Amino acid sequence: NLTSGIVGLANVGKSTFFQAITKSKLGNPANYPFATIQPEEARVLVPSTELDRLAELYASKKKIPAILKIFDIAGLVRGASDNKGLGNAFLNDIRSVDGIFQIVRAFKDSDITHIEGNVDPVRDLTIVQDELILKDMEFIENSIEKLEVQLKHKGNKLMHEITFMEQQLEALTAAYDLLMEGQKVINKSDWKDDHIDALNVHNLLTAKPSVILVNVNEEDFLSQSNEFLKDIQKWVDEFSPGSPVILFSADFETKLNEEHKSDQKYNSTSALPGIIQEMRRVLNLISFYTCGDIEARQWTIRQNTTCPKAAGVIHTDFENTFINAELIKYDDVKELEHPFDEKSLKSKGKVQRVGKHYIVEDGDILHFKAAA
Ligand code: GDP
């Protein structure tokens, strides 16, 4: 299960955002069978119109959405990489997440102190990114040193181990050059596959995808405009290309939660569903579904996952015992009504049998066959 963390300077609205998620209809599903959740961890439902539709279509008794874990990571200050402020505690927390929600403050409110003195989201984005870059450079320097020592004393290491160390050395050196230019490791779009594998073991902070959340006041959120937005977008295009920029208001989300306590659905004006979906997108996550009269369930996989691997998400044994799967495309059934005629669907060729090489696509409805 992939996780994401909320990152930003102090007083930009991180906790307010975190609380808003936790208390929203998307947050901490009570019927989800999980062990105790730490106070700084939220589990949010991944909004899915497909799941809602499929549960109707199959008249499923239960509907089980996918979830995304979100961690509230302590605030960052300038100099965190030198262990000022929360320093290393912060950096360890952020190393463990897969994706980053970076919150910047773009609301003006003279009652709320800005730790840098005034509201300037581009400066804040730069401070946070510089800290992540500095920390990665430090990691890389240490790793390169270790690798060089290991390569000098090859001892009885196997050929492929040596090759992998050499690849790491190459990839880390290239990553270091990028960081020197103020660019994140993820910003380079043409990493070789070997280098990606080599970098993955190092878990660099700037190799994680991010979603930029611009915290604005209610009025700006509702009109989707803000005086800083153009400059923020310009900065993102240059220093964090591909990261979605989303305007939201932590204050307004809090208000929505209070007004809509009794509603069953999340509010349509809320930015939260879109925020969750964007994080899934940058993490390259897609959904497949298993459906029946007992339950309709949404499962999470990475893009380019083969059918047996997808089966393995349901149960580890299924990956090895996988025989084949019956596949229905969401688009072929979304207009149907319950009870629908599966035979006629079959006769139209809309129920396919797929094997172990099939790459599962977003929205696939799968029924796996595995050896007992
Ligand atoms: P954190 O330090 O980043 O976790 O920031 P908090 O969530 O604790 O917010 C700091 C202060 O800013 C609190 O007093 C919040 O009520 C306030 N705040 C958060 N979001 C907004 C917003 O959208 N508008 C306004 N006016 N105040 C906000």
Separation CA 268–CA 274 (nearest Å): 10
Kindly list the protein residues whose Cβ atom lies closer than 6 A to any atom of ligand 1.
8, 10-16, 75, 107, 109, 112, 215, 217, 249-251
Choose one of 12, 16, 216, 251 to mutate for the ligand 1 pocket test, by most ligand atoms within 8 angstroms of C-beta.
16
Q: Which residue's alpha carbon is at the smallest distance from atom 20 of ligand 1?
A: 13
Angle at 267 between CA 270 and CA 106, to 5 degrees: 15
Q: How far is the CA of 128 from the centre of ligand 1 (A)?
A: 18
Candidate of 21, 112, 214 to mutate for ligand 1, largest count of ligand atoms within 8 Å of Cβ: 112
Residues 153-172 pLDDT 10s: 888 888 899 999 999 999 99
Residue type, 87: G
pTM (predicted TM-score): 0.89
Pairing of strands 41-45, 67-72: antiparallel
pLDDT digits (tens, 9 = 90+) for 308-365: 999 999 999 999 999 999 999 999 999 988 888 888 899 999 999 999 999 999 999 9
Q: What are the chain's domains?
A: 3-46+66-119+208-282 (3.40.50.300), 128-206 (1.10.150.300), 304-370 (3.10.20.30)
What's the CA-to-centroid distance between 365 and ligand 1, angstroms?
42
Question: What's the gap in Å between 289 CA and the centre of ligand 1?
Answer: 38
> What is the value of ipTM here, to two decimals?
0.92
- Tens-digit pLDDT profile for residues 76-124: 666 666 665 446 667 778 888 999 999 999 998 888 888 788 999 999 9
